[in-house]
Amino acid sequence: MKSTKNIEKFEYGFGQHLIIDGYGANREKLMDLDFIYNFLSKYPEEIQMTKIMPPYVFKYYAPVPEDWGISGFVIIAESHISIHTFPEKLYLSVDVFSCKPFDVDKAIKDIIEIFEIKKSEIKFFDRGLEFPRSIRAVENFIRMERKDLII
């Protein structure tokens, strides 16, 4: 196994992925297509992201009536933000995925407040840990790794 202790963290990694599962959220907000659209339209700017298209938001009527909800996403230059609501169950899931670092604590606080979430499960991942952010920055590491393979 190769040692990576000399690699600085900022040279690697594709991005951050925040996942929020919210319980006990405001039912009126969860069932409001315009509210969800406006959230997706305005929120990227709140976390210094760049919206590159209008949000796509739609109602879904499930075979099981209480499973209906609203789903939507917005593509940002940095990746995407998505939401799925289940108003009858007072539940929503929100993903914020970005190749640019963002204030995760602010995003968690904002989303909990915006949707009046009573209880939440939060997951946060650094994705693409071996993705080289800058080929020039990792050039020496790549050379050393290839040299180790030859020996």
Task: Please indicate whether residue 17 is annotated as part of the active site.
Answer: no
Q: Which of 55, 25, 17, 23 is nearest to 39 (CA)?
A: 55
Which of 84, 93, 98, 134 is flagged as catalytic? 84
41 is catalytic: no
Q: Which of 67, 69, 73 is nearest to 54 (CA)?
A: 73
Please pick, among 79, 80, 82, 93, the residue that the annotation labels catalytic. 79
Catalytic residue, candidates 80, 99, 120, 134: 99
Return d(Cα 11, Cα 4) in angstroms, integer: 12
Closest residue by Cα to residue 100 from 34, 25, 13: 13
Residues tagged active-site? 79, 84, 99
